[in-house]
Amino acid sequence: MEASAWAEPGGRWREALDTAKTLGDVRWFGDEAGAPDTMPSAGRSLLGPALVAAAASGRPIIVVSDGEVEDVSDVPPELLSRVGVRTFPRQPANDIALTRVTGPALATVGDTVTVGVEVQVFGTAPRDSLTLELRTGRQVLLRRRIGASTGGVIDRSFSLPTTGLSGGDHVIEARLVNLNDAEPRDDSRLWLLRIAPTPGVVLIASPGDWDARFLFRSIRDVAQLPVRGYVRLEPGSWRAMETLAPASSEDVAQSARRADLLVIKGTAPELMRNSRARGMWLWPSGETGEAMIAADWYVSASVASPIAGALVGLPVDSFPPLSAITPIEPGPADWVALTVQESRRGAERPVFTGSQTGSTRRVLTAADGFWRWAFRGGSSEQGYRSLVAATVSWLLGAADSTGAKARPVRTVVANARPLVFEWSGAGGPQPLAVQFSDSAGQRSDTLRFDGSGHAEVRLPVGTYHYRLEGSGEGTVAVEQYSDEWLPRTVALQDHPVSGKSANASTNARQWLWLFGLCITGLAGEWWTRRRLGLR
């Protein structure tokens, strides 16, 4: 019998339970965890594993369900045809569900982030407006009214300032408030936002040009850290690259000083001196008197650099040519990723090099015109984004700020879904102790990784702080919401137990005369060997 979705509006739990008890022994199915659940609260409706286990017993099987089983297509048809099915479909009910909330996982103190929500209306919805509330703990961050309609899907997006949030992890709850619908468990969703005290990546363009604009946009798309850009349009005047809002020199200097990755397009020596960045991407363009040679420079990729994989299989020599280069001489320990030739003739000149000194990594780009790759689109745009992503990854790989051996794939999961951790430490995956704590106390577990480097942990609904053995910690959450609470298509239909039941086949253990024949044969062999004097 299914023990998952009966408590939804219109569910016929008591009627189904009484019927199941009259049919024989009751075995529950639904949740992957397989724990006994005599109340309709599990967050999934999985039939396959329980049905396979029950079929092994050889007894007649009758499935009692509301028919909304999510893995019917995965159950072998011959197995499903041998079992009986009694369905108790839930009665139609009016419900409004908050089915999705999206937002960035990382932001910087003072940023304004965009939050998207999706509301689904089942049955007849109220025609007046709905009210959405975003809160963390008791602090209300935003309250907005959204229009409602009769049936259908409502998509809305809102701007959420983070000025009231301190640095760290914040579990933000999006909830439809003052809503008296049939199912309250689908009225809220969770979203985890990490606020960094300072931007992880800072791009400074002095002055700004096309390369700076395309580089900022690409870094923002591929980086897993908050990104902030500043452009100097005139001496002593800084503006934010995203909004062109004025920025003070002190704000720019502080961001550059505390960034993990500092990217300087042009020149800003005063901002480099005090920077503690573990990665620096320098991109001079002749601002301090370097020689710039303008021509059509066609690029070739080296296979002996840490970022060579970014351009594998791409026709780099067919990409749009660069517009100008600055002659450079790589050091003996420097690697070279890209070289150029003028009009595809003459000597090759290095234009993209990297080096590491201690714990600091640097990349030097001595050419302008890479923006043409992104502007053209197609494979050249793909190559540009791959080059930016690989460079950012290498620059940030000099030191791991957490040293964590594993990290969660998703920090928020739905009810009855496992938290999945992926191995990120050196060497092969190994069992790793982990401790989860919440307001109710602490629990310890061990992450046991499979061949793909993933490990699963199942937790009850709640918000947890986890701490890994050695180093690494963070926040994860299991929300009350489940797709199980929403009305779904009935996948099972009533039918009686097939005449060809699971125990229609005969096994050797049912033939008692076969055991007697075997014993007689063995005894005869023993008697014959003794008569012949054999042992």
Model confidence pLDDT, tens digit, residues 415-426: 888 999 999 877
Contact present, 75 and 67 (Cβ < 8 Å)? no
Lowest mean pLDDT segment, chosen from 3-12, 236-245, 475-484, 492-501: 3-12
Tokens of 472: 């690494």
Greater pLDDT, 151 or 212 = 212
**Residues of the chain above pLDDT 70, percent:** 89
**With bands split at pLDDT 50, 70 and 90, how would you rate the model's confidence at 457?**
very high
Taking 80 as the threshold, does the pLDDT of residue 14 lie above it?
no
Classify strands 293-301 and 322-325 as parallel, antiparallel or unpaired.
antiparallel
The pLDDT confidence band at residue 401, using thresholds 50, 70 and 90, is very low
Helix axes 210-222, 378-396, angle to 10 degrees: 70
Q: Give the separation between CA 17 and CA 6, rounded to whole angstroms.
A: 10
Residue bearing the bigger pLDDT, 535 or 418: 418
Across 164-176, average pLDDT: 91
Give the Cα separation of 38 and 17 in Å (integer): 9
Confidence grade of residue 7 (pLDDT, cut at 50, 70, 90): low
Residue 6 in this model has a pLDDT that exceeds 60: no
Average pLDDT on 101-119 reads 87
Mean pLDDT within 127-135: 82
Q: What is the pLDDT of residue 108?
A: 81
Q: Provide the pLDDT for residue 502.
A: 43
Mean pLDDT of 60-84: 80
Does residue 138 or residue 94 have the better pLDDT?
138
What is the reported pLDDT for 388?
A: 95
Least confident piece of the model among 111-120, 148-157, 317-326, 446-455:
148-157
> What is the pLDDT averaged over residues 269-279?
78
Closest by Cα among 335, 262, 260 to 304: 335
Answer yes or no: is pLDDT of 306 > 80: yes
pLDDT band at 503 (very low <50, low <70, confident <90, very high): very low
* Higher-scoring residue by pLDDT: 365, 487: 365
Looking up tokens 């297509």 gives: 73
CB 23 within 8 A of CB 62: yes
pLDDT averaged over every residue in the chain: 84
Query: Could you tell me which residue, 252 or 73, shows the higher pLDDT?
Result: 252
Q: Residue by residue, what is the 3-state secondary structure of 384-435?
A: HHHHHHHHHHHHHCCCCCCCCCEEECCCEECCCCCEEEEECCCCCCCCEEEE
Instruction: Give the percent of the chain with pLDDT over 90.
Output: 41
pLDDT, residue 399, reads: 43
For residue 311, the SS3 value is: helix
**How far apart are alpha carbons 432 and 152 in whole angstroms?**
46
Q: Confidence class of residue 143 from pLDDT cuts 50, 70 and 90?
A: very high
pLDDT of residue 398: 52
Q: Which two tokens stand for residue 329?
A: 């001489």
Residue 281 has pLDDT above 90, yes or no: yes
